[in-house]
Homo-oligomer: A and B are copies of this chain.
Amino acid sequence: MSKVYAQASVSLDGFIAGPNGTGFDRLFAWCTAGTVETPTSQPDRLTYRTNAATAAYLRDLLEGTGALVIGRRLFDATNGWNGSHPLGKPVFVVTHEPPTDWVDTDTPYTFVTDGIASAIAQAQSAAGTLDVGVGPGTTVVQALDAGLLTELRLDLVPVTLGSGTPMLEGLTTQHTFADPRTIVGIGVTHLIYDI
């Protein structure tokens, strides 16, 4: 059974972004803190450099993921990765109102207006036997509350940001998971929770 996972780099004080959209350099420093290379589908743009344990964790994600579900805020903030997502997979964007002027280039984008469950179902269909990645942000909270996530991957970064965007803000249900698998990287501890 393919997974529906969420992954987030989160600070020790629980933020996935610092004040006024700062802090990403510190939250994602672990992506290039080592020597073992893990290329994405666009190696010039993004090749991870980590320790061997993190590299195995990332390869599993990169090779296992068949489609992504993201929120409109991330789509807008990255301008749809300028048409070319580093994973090179179909992306499903949850939004109330699709953009009228978007033209697909490398990455196929689908704008989903009928909610997170529909977006995940469409992404699963596109992914086939592969996994679906959700998030970060509001889409993760919605998927978790709707019981649609099967795995939560926290990349816990040993920094504090003081304020910013909380990782899981606005959950309406209290959840309990099993203990995680832990992987110790460089500048990051990966915690993998099966749901």
Q: Residues on A close to B: CB < 8 A?
A: 12-14, 18, 23, 26, 144, 152, 154, 156, 158-162, 166-180, 182, 184-189, 191, 193
Residues A167 and B26 in contact in the complex (CB < 8 Å), given A162-B173, A174-B159, A180-B158: no
Q: Determine the main DSSP class of A at the interface with B.
A: loop
Contact A166 B26 (CB under 8 A): no
Interface contact B191-A174, CB-CB below 8 Å: no
- CB closest residue in chain B, given A14: B14
Task: Contact check, A177 vs B159: say whether CB atoms are below 8 A apart.
Answer: yes
Contact A174–B161 (Cβ < 8 Å): yes
**A174, B27: Cα distance in complex, Å:** 12
7 residue pairs, one from A and one from B, having the closest CB atoms: A14-B14, A158-B177, A13-B168, A162-B171, A160-B175, A159-B176, A182-B182
Given contacts A13-B167, A179-B185, A189-B191, 11 further A-B contacts (CB under 8 A): A12-B154, A13-B14, A13-B168, A23-B174, A26-B174, A158-B176, A159-B174, A162-B170, A179-B187, A182-B182, A182-B189
Chain B residues with CB below 8 A from A189, complex form: 179-180, 182, 191
B13, B175, B182: which contacts A184 (Cβ < 8 A)?
Answer: B182
